[in-house]
Amino acid sequence: MAGSALKRLMAEYKQLTLNPPEGIIAGPVDEENFFEWEALIMGPADTCFAGGVFPARLSFPSDYPLSPPKMKFTCEIFHPNIYTDGRVCISILHAPGDDPMGYETSAERWSPVQSVEKILLSVVSMLSEPNDESAANVDAAKTWRDDRKGFDEIAKVTVRKSLGL
């Protein structure tokens, strides 16, 4: 299974280098191991994260694309859909099939037709439009909902930190 996963990851890497999505750079940490990737995601324009450059890691299972990768930001980021340790919590990264909690449809969850590019674009979208109803970081969700100005101020600090300022 790891052989077909490797082929798929190599093809996706090639596609990302030939036609990179705007504001995203991603690829293997080292070309000896295509199952560990790093990504740099620019904060989307016209959001409180604009101007930031947020590093993340993606870890792919040996049965990729049957199972989704795990994604984790390696910098501090205050967001309703990002755990305090940096793990990203969005539907596209949840195992395929029905949601045991009944919150997501199977169509929203991972399927083998998804790709690294779709994951990264979903994360950019998540930065633009947090889902505060299914929070990984309850404090961030509460702040997003109840004190948008305060949330934006925290996000601006996060942007500065992401740039080493």
Ordered alpha helix ranges (H), 36-165: 116-128, 138-146, 148-162
Determine whether 89 is an active site residue.
yes
> Longest Cα pair distance anywhere in the chain, in angstroms?
49
Of the residues 42, 88, 89, 136, only one is catalytic, namely 89
**How does DSSP assign 75-107, residue by residue?**
S----TTB-TTSBB--GGGSPSS--TTSSS-TT
Whether 57 contacts 74, CB under 8 Å: yes
Positions annotated as catalytic residues are 89
